[in-house]
Structure 1
Amino acid sequence: MDKDAVLTHVLKQRRTPSLLGGEQPVSVMSSSRYVSQLTDREVENQLTDREVENQLTDREVENQLPSLDHAIRTALSGEVQTVVLVGGEGSGKTTALEKLVVDWAKGEHLQNFTYVLYFGLREIRSLKDELSLETLLQHHHSPVPSESMQLVLQKPEDVLFVFDDLDQYKLSLDPSVHTLCSDLSQAVSVSCMISSLLHGSLLRGAAFVVATRTTGWLEFLNGTRVEVSGFLKPQRETYFNGFFSDPAAANKALLHMERTLGFYDFCTSPRFCWTVCSIYKTLMDAGAKLPDTLTQLYVDILVHLMQALSLKEACNRELVQALGVMASHCSVSQNSSCTKEELHSFGFQKLLSSVGAFLNVDGDLESDACVFSFTSQLMQEFLLAVSFFLDMSVSEGMEKMWEKHKGHAKFLDLFLSGLSEPVQRRPLVILLGEFNSDRISDFKSWFKSSSEETLKGCYNDRHHRCFHLLHQAQNQSLVKEIISPSARTGISYGDLSLQDCVALNYVWSCLGEMKLLNLYRTRDLTDEKAEVLAPAMSLSHKIQLSYSTLSTGAVSHLASALSRGRTEELDLAHTSLGDEKLKVLCAGLRDCKLHTLKLLVCRLTEAGCEDLMCALTSGSSQLRVLEMMFNQIGDLGFMKLCKALQSPQCKLQQLQLRSCELTAVSMEALSAALCSGKSELRKVDLTSNTIGDGGVEALCKSLQHPHCKLQSLNLFDTELTGACCPHLMETLMSEHCSLLELDLSVNDLGHEGALLLCQALSCPGCPVEKLGLTRCELTQQVFKELGSLLRSGTSRLKSLIVGLNKVGDQGVKHLWDAVAHPACLLEELDVEMTDLTDACVEDLCAAVRASKTLKSLELRNNSLTDASVPALVQVMQDSCNMQEMNLKYNDFSEDVFEMLDECDKIRY
């Protein structure tokens, strides 16, 4: 077979080049602008986690993925007979296939095939007559000589068919709907012939490469599927450098595209890159401003195309409106192509010769069999938006138009939003005449009302769409009008796409300041997304990132935003941050307004505490609250933090260290910090650490020191016994003790230890106002002493938590008697699971009625029954002081639920 003839056939221009149709393959190859794409989505997906973990650059990713050309050749070199190339509009499938054939014809690749036959199904689908495969090869391909035909038939394994545009093949590939043929000389329909070839009944043993957009016919094709992945940033850079002769112009164009459009998926399309390069070059040569939005880009494209046609204004308007009618028809019918008869009905009668700038024209323009389709889906939707605003009739309002096209047109509302702004539509008004002001007003009214309804809801994807429309409009006053203060907080915008990040950042920047940037459960906050969101971060007083996954690069942008912004609270709980990323974050903590940092469950160790220490002592840190619960920092890590506490530069006031693997060893360091005279610490939570009696003894020394400012100490579940109570008693009676809150819950203090505490608490100078003694093995005698101190007139206790001590009605009666006493200051009382029964209710109600201070009563998990409900409801309704009574998990039946509902201060 003559390879030169194949080369001539493939490199022959089959269509008129167009701005929207992309660069012709022959031009791409002859100008050395061909950039092989990456492929194999499986490999790319496997790399995603490693990109986040190791911060692989686009170039490194590119080096680890096979090229499209290589993937096809590799598949064909094995036993695979069919390779299916799948990609979207303008993804470069045709160029890749033609490059494949050209490489074979030049003797560079696929030399194991003697014959490579290229067919565009878009071109041969119009063949109406039945014909044989022999006839097709001899007359509708680069002619296969008759002497070669016999060799093709005898050795099909040496033949490779290349079929492009399978999605344009409208008939089914389901073998059950065809009578497949096997005779090469038998005349059949083109559809039967294609199906017979692909299903192996005709020319069995031949190989196939088939290119298609995603279509339902794929399920009937066996073989290796190769996804066209499109251009990553480095490939776009290569393409732009190949397009522009001036490197500076190439760099300017690429940077502008990445900044304004790079977040759209279609920017990976080689065809779209060609369109952008072409229009940017035209604008740059004319010294014009490059577009800031997608709408502005398509305004520039439409102006360029219309000016090239050199029509009068009336004809320009008529052509765009006819294209809009066709766009609406294609959108609603979901039919990508139209006949010549349909085109006439749309209003193209006098303008048929001009449609080539916007439409694919398949067949002879003079023939009634000619078929027309939009070259670009984006331009189709843009023309629909323009024609809607050009139409001067009042037959169709925005609501009706939107309902008709919703679900079929992805970018229609974005284009409408952009075109509703005078600045963006002005070039089209000059070219096409005035837009319908009533329709523009109708759109704006629809947009405002629908946005208001959307922002009341809790669906963040709908919020995102509203933000996209605002971003497209580029109107700051409109943003402030639509995004009311009530719509600015609460909802989580986690799991943002890059496009969502751009829109959200635009809205936040227009507003100028935000209370909360809620990114809860953002599972893939990459370097690129965080870079886009950085300005929004710097404008937010609180950033919520709990349960998120942040790349190292994202943390770097977050740190930068903190250092120059107004953020006062940052929540990174459950982010698995790790020490290395914490080091990056700490660079931003040294000079920022951050007051609260939440690092709960962040996989931090001793190493991370070193960086925190440096940040806390930097001299400009404003950090007041640090939450580090459930991290393995251990004693060594905590001692580093204690060292920071002794610095006059450290302003930390609250430190939460629950379950951080601390022991008595590090309590000496904390004690030293507290009595150093430099620590500002007011609150420490040591819950669920193995502090033990020895650790408490060390702490008690500092709590008695005149320089210690600690007001709240939580020792919940820290393995204490009654042996620590003498030290605590001495501390609480000390003149320098400043503790207002002390929680000793879930420790085995026992009867004797608790009595010592009661003795201390009754001391006139004891400052404690809130005491936690849940599940401390307390006895009725201890409850009697607690009741006595509450009545003493010297106790300052306002909150007492003594649940899970099974003392029954008799034990708790001492507390009811105390609550009723005028000297008792108690505001909160928790007696959950203390074995209370209905017998206590009379005393309970008497206490509530008598008390002037009690506001909250916790009675969960006791044995109260329906019989108690009337009295409890009545006393709560009568009481002016009481705000809440919790009766959950008692022995109530559904019969009393309606009665309990009568009092909104009761929870049950």
Structure 2
Amino acid sequence: MEKVDVLNRILKAEDTATILGGQSPASVINSGKYVPVTAKTQDNLRCLDDAIRTGLCGEIRTVVVVGPEGSGKTTALHKLVADWTKGECLQNFSHVFNFQFREMGFSAGELCLETLIQQGHYQIPPESMCLVAEKPDGVLFVFDGLDEYKHSLDPTVHTLTSDLNQPASVSCLLASLLDGALLKGAAFLVATRPTDNVKFLKGTQLEVLGFQKQQRQVYFNNFFTDHAAANKAFLHMERTLGFYDFCAAPKFCWTVCSIYKWLIDSGTKLPETLSQLFVHILVHLIQTLSLSKACSRGLVLALGRMASHCLHNQHSSCSKHAIDSFGFQQNLTSVDSFLRVQGEEEFSFHSQLIQEFVLAVAFFLDVSTYDDVEKMLDNHKGGAKFLDFFMSGLSEPAQYRLLEDLLGMFSSDQIKGFKSWFKSSSEKTLREYNKSEHYRCFHLLHQAQNETLVKEILTPPAHPRVSHENLRLQDCVALNYVITCLGKRETLGVSRTTVLRETMEVLAPSVSLLHTVILSNCSIYKESVPLLASAVSLGVTRELDLSHSNLGDEKLQILCAGLSKTELHRLNLNVCELTAACCGDLASVLTSETSQLRILQMMFNQIGDQGFTKLCEAMHSPNCKLEELEIPNCDLTAASMEAFAASLCSGESKLRRIDFKDNMIGDSGVQALCKALQQPLCKLQSLRLFGSGLTGACCSDLKDVFMSEHCSLSELDLSLNDLGQEGALLLCQGLKRPSCPIEILRLTRCELTPAVFEEVGSVLKNGTCQIKSLHLDINSVGDKGVKYLWDAVAHPSCLLEELNVEMTELTDACVEDLCAALRDNDTLKLLELRNNCLTDAAVPAIVQVMKEKVSMEELK
């Protein structure tokens, strides 16, 4: 067969284009506006056409193209063969044979390879067949629609043949060819939807992903002759539908473009949801058929019965006999718009989406068949993905009125029943914590497009604050709709989610309405950061949590540039892969004239002394309003403490709390701090030095701070430092000063002794001590040491409200003193006794005293 004949066969094929079936391959190729689709091979994304050509040049020259319906497989194959006939590609092949699996399924009996080729409409002369046999490496077989072939290609169930002239069944010939037994050296290109037969094919497998966003834009520009209309249609689709997987299918894009063009030409508003789109699709199809209202209603009800049958039994098609039982007799000439014929009188819907949509419409038209919402959904949940979406949309008058004009009245009982079910099931779902069910509820509300319904269902008692995890783009769309309907809210928590530019475009309106925005444990893309900053700046957001994200210095710089006029009060940057390079940008935010930032959290970032010094310089500015700074584990040392001390005494610093946990500040660093803490301009109230490499040598300087009349510290955490007995006793001397302001003191695991506990007990009883919270846990002093605390607790001058003596080696012997102290105390609210050597014998006495003391709130 000459190349020109092959080309004519492709280009002059019957144009089977329908609004649901997609544009025919011949039409696409003839128009000169072919847009290649994207394929995935291993971990790479490539143009499908290029990937096929590369695969056909490999050692095993078999390429298997796998993708869902309408993803562009058939058109790509036809375009490849057409380009071969024009001499534009694959010129190492002298013969290319193009087959449809569904046509080969009709072949009965046995035949040889030459006959099989002839039956494929290739009138190949004997001399050419000899050339095929002699040079099989110059032959390419193109097989399309493997999923429509009902016979197995498993080579183990066939007696494979290597003889070109030996008659065999078609399935045996195909298995022999694809396994390499017959015409060894030939190349094969196979296209299919996912099917079990794929596992019997060797070679390169390509996953067809369809159109990416840029390819969709090219497709829309090709479809619309008017550039403005193309841009309007494309942007609208991306905003309302582009987050659905099926938007990658060229066939679906053809449907959308066709409907959008019809709506734009008629001056009609474009649809806002998937349900609204399919309302317009059905309206267009019904109007095109020019049927009476009764016939249109009958057709849709018959389609609904067929859809129910297929979805319930999870069959993709129905036989002619089954079709007759659904009531199509009077509308057989009208079904082509909805159904396609495959195989021997097998009928199937052009897409599963229209299948589910007509079933949803039938539900509201036919109360006698579909009387119960929950039963309806349960019967079809195995095969339906969007049925409840469509039912939710169609339950609203604004969406079903167009259909009522053509099909007659929807059942008010069905609408009422659906809404009652939806409201009760949603309220139940939102009281629980199944996040996927929450998202499903949001999707249904989005399809309904009823703001009043959102406010009825998502009342605060029915919708506790939930951190939304692993959000897909379509989940973000539904969530954003719900939040914008509700108006200003307190908190949005999103975690473990990839935040692309598209994600932030969708969520930006919600972010602007929220006081607290949490994007923790997220993978944040650079392109999304300006949109986030803009949403925060334009809205009411006061707290932004980006902790445990991959933010990094570059993206933080972009964020800071957009936060110059924000009302942000708290910024959480814990574990964000930051270094000293970002601190200049943060300093710029802190010193801007409009800055409202009061709390900055930066735990586990390698900013070091260089970065921290930049933040200290910012605190000299009168514009800086920073009150709390948390920088645990940030590689700080004593080298930056002079700069910090200078900022505290500048007269401009508003810092009240600093957390240096797990930074090696050391005794020399604390010495620099203590000088500042004794200055009248220093107003620091909370200093946390947990695990800062301190020894008893620093306690003399801290004692001087306690003794200073200018000391403003009310909280000091020295936990996990080796202060020892000598150092701790020096602290106690300072604590005895009558006006010492310390109210919270943490000395967890500081190598304290019973002598220190005795002195602490003395401090608590002296009548001037202000300590309300005391942590002395993980110091092994036993009953003897802690007895000094029980004596203090019993003293009327003791103001303790919290006491932690976990892991101090207490035994049952302390219980009598403990209970006596609790009976005599009226201030203690929380007592921590965990991980001591108390036994069951201690429980009754402790329980009894807890019953007696109404002031005690918590005993651990």
Q: Report the TM range for the smaller structure's normalisation.
A: over 0.9
CA displacement 1:58-104 (0-9 Å, x = unmatched): xxxxxxx5321122122222332321111111011111111111112
Equivalent of residue 480 in structure 2, options 496, 500, 505 = 505
Range with greater deviation from structure 2 (835-844 or 24-33): 835-844
TM-score, length-normalised on structure 1? 0.92
Retained in 2: the 8 A contact 1:664–1:691? Answer: yes
- Report the alpha carbon displacement of residue 203 of structure 1 after superposing the two structures with TM: 3.5
- Report the alpha carbon displacement of residue 861 of structure 1 after superposing the two structures with TM: 2.6
CA displacement 1:391-441 (0-9 Å, x = unmatched): 141653111111110021111111111111111111111111111221122
Give the distance between the partners of 1:752 and 1:361, measured in 2 at CA.
Answer: 93
- Counterpart position of 2:325: 345
- Counterpart position of 2:29: 29
Retained in 1: the 8 A contact 2:753–2:781? Answer: yes
Equivalent of residue 294 in structure 1, options 274, 280, 284 = 274
Range with greater deviation from structure 2 (612-621 or 734-743): 734-743
- Counterpart position of 1:399: 374
- Report the alpha carbon displacement of residue 27 of structure 1 after superposing the two structures with TM: 0.9
Retained in 2: the 8 A contact 1:518–1:544? Answer: yes
- Report the alpha carbon displacement of residue 552 of structure 1 after superposing the two structures with TM: 1.2
Distance 1:116 1:699, change over 3 A: same
- Counterpart position of 1:717: 691
Retained in 1: the 8 A contact 2:41–2:205? Answer: no
TM-score, length-normalised on structure 2? 0.97
Equivalent of residue 469 in structure 1, options 424, 438, 444 = 444
- Counterpart position of 2:521: 547
Retained in 1: the 8 A contact 2:111–2:170? Answer: yes
Structure 1 counterpart of 2:856, which letter?
Answer: M
- Counterpart position of 1:905: none
- Report the alpha carbon displacement of residue 317 of structure 1 after superposing the two structures with TM: 0.9
Q: Does 1:496 align with 2:476?
A: no
Distance 1:322 1:780, change over 3 A: same
Equivalent of residue 556 in structure 2, options 565, 572, 582 = 582
Give the distance between the partners of 2:609 and 2:163, measured in 1 at CA.
Answer: 84
Q: Does 1:87 align with 2:67?
A: yes
- Report the alpha carbon displacement of residue 251 of structure 1 after superposing the two structures with TM: 1.1
Equivalent of residue 299 in structure 2, options 309, 312, 319 = 319
Retained in 1: the 8 A contact 2:95–2:139? Answer: yes
- Report the alpha carbon displacement of residue 13 of structure 1 after superposing the two structures with TM: 2.2
- Counterpart position of 1:630: 604
CA displacement 1:359-399 (0-9 Å, x = unmatched): 11247xxxxx5222211121111111111211141653111
Distance 1:869 1:206, change over 3 A: same
Range with greater deviation from structure 2 (408-417 or 70-79): 70-79
Give the distance between the partners of 2:726 and 2:142, measured in 1 at CA.
Answer: 91
Map 1:231-630; keep pairs closer than 5 Å: 231-362=211-342, 369-393=344-368, 396-522=371-497, 524-630=498-604
The DSSP-based 3-state class of the residue aligned with 2:46 is coil
Range with greater deviation from structure 2 (662-671 or 219-228): 662-671
- Counterpart position of 1:17: 17
Retained in 2: the 8 A contact 1:856–1:885? Answer: yes
- Counterpart position of 2:795: 821
CA displacement 1:822-847 (0-9 Å, x = unmatched): 11111111222222222221111110
Retained in 2: the 8 A contact 1:118–1:141? Answer: no
- Counterpart position of 2:746: 772
Range with greater deviation from structure 2 (199-208 or 874-883): 199-208
- Counterpart position of 2:784: 810
Structure 1 counterpart of 2:438, which letter?
Answer: H
Give the distance between the partners of 2:528 and 2:370, measured in 1 at CA.
Answer: 50
- Report the alpha carbon displacement of residue 719 of structure 1 after superposing the two structures with TM: 2.6
Retained in 2: the 8 A contact 1:138–1:145? Answer: no
The DSSP-based 3-state class of the residue aligned with 1:22 is coil
Give the distance between the partners of 2:762 and 2:375, measured in 1 at CA.
Answer: 76
Retained in 2: the 8 A contact 1:119–1:141? Answer: no
Retained in 2: the 8 A contact 1:838–1:863? Answer: yes
Give the distance between the partners of 1:34 and 1:443, measured in 2 at CA.
Answer: 44
- Report the alpha carbon displacement of residue 669 of structure 1 after superposing the two structures with TM: 1.9
Q: Which runs of 5+ in 2 are unaligned?
A: none
Distance 1:796 1:139, change over 3 A: closer
Retained in 1: the 8 A contact 2:60–2:202? Answer: no
Give the distance between the partners of 1:806 and 1:334, measured in 2 at CA.
Answer: 68
Distance 1:519 1:41, change over 3 A: farther
Equivalent of residue 854 in structure 2, options 861, 864, 880 = 880
Give the distance between the partners of 1:239 and 1:806, measured in 2 at CA.
Answer: 75
Structure 2 counterpart of 1:584, which letter?
Answer: I
Retained in 2: the 8 A contact 1:489–1:515? Answer: no
Number of equivalences: 860
- Counterpart position of 2:844: 870
- Counterpart position of 2:703: 729
- Counterpart position of 1:40: 40
- Report the alpha carbon displacement of residue 796 of structure 1 after superposing the two structures with TM: 1.2
Equivalent of residue 146 in structure 2, options 157, 166, 181 = 166
The DSSP-based 3-state class of the residue aligned with 2:27 is helix
Q: Which runs of 5+ in 1 are unaligned?
A: 45-64, 364-368, 887-908
Give the distance between the partners of 2:495 and 2:676, measured in 1 at CA.
Answer: 40
Retained in 1: the 8 A contact 2:584–2:614? Answer: yes
The DSSP-based 3-state class of the residue aligned with 2:499 is coil
The DSSP-based 3-state class of the residue aligned with 2:697 is helix
Structure 1 counterpart of 2:393, which letter?
Answer: G
Map 1:174-253; keep pairs closer than 5 Å: 174-253=154-233
Structure 1 counterpart of 2:526, which letter?
Answer: T
Retained in 2: the 8 A contact 1:489–1:517? Answer: no
Give the distance between the partners of 2:61 and 2:679, measured in 1 at CA.
Answer: 85
Distance 1:693 1:352, change over 3 A: same
Give the distance between the partners of 2:445 and 2:107, measured in 1 at CA.
Answer: 48
Give the distance between the partners of 1:441 and 1:188, measured in 2 at CA.
Answer: 62
Retained in 2: the 8 A contact 1:489–1:516? Answer: no
- Report the alpha carbon displacement of residue 154 of structure 1 after superposing the two structures with TM: 4.1
Retained in 1: the 8 A contact 2:15–2:27? Answer: no
Q: Does 1:136 align with 2:111?
A: no
- Report the alpha carbon displacement of residue 180 of structure 1 after superposing the two structures with TM: 4.0
The DSSP-based 3-state class of the residue aligned with 1:66 is strand
Give the distance between the partners of 2:269 and 2:752, measured in 1 at CA.
Answer: 79
- Report the alpha carbon displacement of residue 694 of structure 1 after superposing the two structures with TM: 2.5
Give the distance between the partners of 1:164 and 1:131, measured in 2 at CA.
Answer: 21
Retained in 2: the 8 A contact 1:41–1:229? Answer: no
Give the distance between the partners of 1:205 and 1:136, measured in 2 at CA.
Answer: 18
Equivalent of residue 797 in structure 1, options 771, 774, 782 = 771
Give the distance between the partners of 1:344 and 1:323, measured in 2 at CA.
Answer: 11
Give the distance between the partners of 2:504 and 2:463, measured in 1 at CA.
Answer: 20
Give the distance between the partners of 2:106 and 2:304, measured in 1 at CA.
Answer: 26
Give the aligned CA root-mean-square deviation in angstroms.
1.9
CA displacement 1:302-330 (0-9 Å, x = unmatched): 11111111111111111111111111111
- Counterpart position of 1:59: none
CA displacement 1:178-232 (0-9 Å, x = unmatched): 4444554555444344333323344443322111001111111112112222111
- Counterpart position of 1:78: 58
Give the distance between the partners of 2:697 and 2:127, measured in 1 at CA.
Answer: 106
Distance 1:879 1:242, change over 3 A: same
